[in-house]
Amino acid sequence: MPKLLVRDLAQVVSPAGREAPLRGGALRELDLVERAYVLCDGGSIAAVGTMSELEPLDGEVLELDGRGLCALPGLVDCHTHPAFAGDRVHEFSLRAGGASYEELHAAGGGILSTVRATRAAGEDELTLAVVRHRDWMLRAGTTTFEGKSGYGLDRETELASLRAVRSAGGIPTWLGAHATPPEHDDPDAYLDFVLAEVLPEAAAMAEAADVFLERGAFDATQARRYLEACRDRGLALRLHGDQFTESGAIQLAIELGARSVDHLEATGPAGVAALAASGVTGVLLPASALFLGRPMPPARALVDAGAAVALATDFNPGSAFCESLPLVCSLAATQLRLSPAEALGACTVNAAYVLARADRIGRLAPGFAADVTLLGAPDWRYLAYHLGGEVVVGVVRGGAVSRPPGAY
């Protein structure tokens, strides 16, 4: 692979330092270089500096013109549900007319309607769907994505979902406890089935397990049973918690040493304090809160209390049909009262930390993966500033140009 030089950039920005996760004031610290270059070699960042310091390079070098562009670390989406077929546009219209997400779920729609479509699709169609969703994310500047199963809920479709995420280059999470499918009488009977019949193979393919701990899904006792069994098979733990109600997800996540608890729209002050004092990262999903018309999570309080906070899209067909981390950064700045710098740290370093990869991705610094997101803007803060704009104009992944810079 030839070296890749992105030259004459307006700005190169990266979260400062080397530590992870970034908490409190450290989440705001950036390294910013103006009139700058980024040199990639062998899939890694070799150097970042000002154009005036750039020495002549030997060997084969591919050059990209960075005039008028800013370079950021490739964005990291640590919470997505890309393994689904069909859509929920009909329910979306019903919700616009006043139906609630929880009512649709209780009436057998919601997650279970996507389960029906995903089971019917077959593995080839599912694999193509994950690739299509991956390409949408890449176009919006995401160079690393986690992808959950959870729309199969039978052995064959759950395993096919994990294979599809992996073959599309994603990091698979087994969301075996997303809902109870109709062929099982209740959540406990369903857990008997998945833990006996799906977990052994899912554990060999996934990196983490996830559970939807919520009224109408799985309660804290059931979530504990599922997560402990998954932990015993070597999986890291994640939880969907405090989306609609505070149902004990934070306490359980802390007790089990989970990597993250995600959503937190319903979290109150005690939950904020508990999370801040723990090693569990809070993953905030403001696109989902917006899409469902829910309260925003207490991001400012979490960061100020010293919690590790990440941002993600929650891309899925029901609660967040949104693959754009730049849009999530806009929501972070306008709705969560996070600064653009805090938003950037939350969807790079801290998201990489949730995926146990913060030593390799999330920063533009020598030795890190050569994953670079290029903004067509004179100032990197356009990432959050341009609400819904096509601010990402180019993407480099692993030192290769995945999306050549185009017009803004």
Residue 402 CB burial class (10 angstroms; 0-12, 13-18, ≥19):
middle
Spatial contact of 320 and 313, defined as CB atoms under 8 Å apart: yes
For residue 406, give the amino acid letter.
G
State the Cα–Cα distance between residues 392 and 339, nearest whole angstrom: 19
Binding mask 63-82 for ligand NIG (x = CB under 6 A): ------------------x-
Asked if 342 interacts with ligand NIG (CB under 6 A), we say no
- What is the nearest approach in angstroms of ligand NIG to the Cβ of residue 381? 28
Figure out which of the listed residues 21, 109, 110, 298 binds ligand NIG, where binding follows CB under 6 A: 110
Asked if 133 interacts with ligand NIG (CB under 6 A), we say no
Figure out which of the listed residues 143, 319, 324, 373 binds ligand NIG, where binding follows CB under 6 A: 319
For residue 102, give the amino acid letter.
E
Nearest residue (beta carbon) to ligand NIG: 318
Spatial contact of 13 and 66, defined as CB atoms under 8 Å apart: no
Residue reference for tokens 């139906």: 99
Asked if 111 interacts with ligand NIG (CB under 6 A), we say yes
Pick 248 or 318: Cβ nearer ligand NIG? 318
Question: CA gyration radius for the chain?
Answer: 21
Asked if 288 interacts with ligand NIG (CB under 6 A), we say yes
Task: Tell me if the bond preceding 21 is cis, omega within 30° of 0.
Answer: yes
User: In angstroms, how far is CA 355 from the centroid of its own chain?
Assistant: 9
Pick 150 or 394: Cβ nearer Fe ion? 150
Stretch that binds Fe ion, among 38-46, 54-62, 306-314, 347-355 (CB under 5 A): 306-314
Pick 110 or 326: Cβ nearer ligand NIG? 110
State the Cα–Cα distance between residues 290 and 327, nearest whole angstrom: 11
Pick 151 or 353: Cβ nearer ligand NIG? 151
Asked if 314 interacts with Fe ion (CB under 5 A), we say yes
Which residue in 408, 253, 243 sits closest to 316, CA to CA?
243
- Chain residues in the site for Fe ion (CB under 5 A): 314
Residues of the shown chain interacting with ligand NIG in the complex, contacts defined by CB under 6 A: 81, 110-111, 114, 212, 240, 243, 288, 314, 316-319
